[in-house]
Structure 1
């Protein structure tokens, strides 16, 4: 029945900062950008190379979401990459704080965590070879 994840929706606190982060720093492509005046809200559709998408929303006065320590709900959003170490270096060169690279004890794959401008935990997970 289910085929794959089509999109993940993220509500940000500062639209311009988050748009810059997801497009310039992470390199996602803009599919469409819509301003909805009746909601005083932007909706930015972003594409990953495999066709999956992120919907970035801005809503006035959206409440913050508890993320850490290990709150219930979505734990993090993970992106597959070919080389975690190289991607970590690129992110750090752009001023992002990136945790130390770890190894998944179940798969032996490398992964690393960092956060978006609102503190949403993001993970880079090395592709299986």
Structure 2
């Protein structure tokens, strides 16, 4: 068995790099650790952290293929982030013209959660802790 220590990062390919960069930094609050223009690949790579922990690599590539379907396509289903108060988080999203689904209750834990989408329709969950 491997001796994994945790998740290092999540890689996301954006169709509109600047739009996704704004979404993840200005709306969700990720901090930019490093941005690299990879001219030979016509690509950018943006390293993002949350609360001091490296989390996301945001990429741009020329003409990336579309996601096949949502949310039950093979592969990554969604990203989930912890929040203290789902209602307050939703208020902040709505102020930024991001409109989550109605709040649901996890029938196993009794905790509140909701889903919304990033600029490329990647499903994102907020889960109340």
Q: TM-score, normalised by structure 2?
A: 0.94
| Aligned equivalent of 1:24 | 26
Contact 2:71 2:77 in 1 (8 A): no
Confirm or deny: 8 A CA contact 1:34 1:42 kept in the other structure: yes
Find the aligned partners of 2:69 and 2:6 in 1 and give their Cα distance. Answer: 25
Is the partner of 2:44 in helix, strand or coil? strand
Runs of 4+ in 1 over 6 A off after TM superposition: none
Count of paired positions:
127
2:126 alignment partner, SS class: strand
Verify: 1:125 aligned to 2:127, yes or no. Answer: yes
Q: Which residue of 1 aligns with 2:106?
A: 104
Residue 107 of structure 1 deviates from its aligned partner by 1.0
Q: Give the Cα–Cα distance (whole angstroms) in 2 for the partners of residues 69 and 36 of structure 1.
A: 31
Unaligned runs of 5+ in 1: none
Secondary structure of 2:26's partner?
Answer: helix
Out of 33, 57, 60, which is 2:59 matched to? 57
| Partner residue, 2:35 | 33
Aligned pair in 2 of structure 1 residues 107, 52: CA closer, same or farther (>3 Å)?
farther
Secondary structure of 2:5's counterpart equals coil
TM-score, normalising length from structure 1?
Answer: 0.94
Provide the C-alpha distance between the structure 2 equivalents of 1:108 and 1:2, rounded to a whole number of angstroms: 30
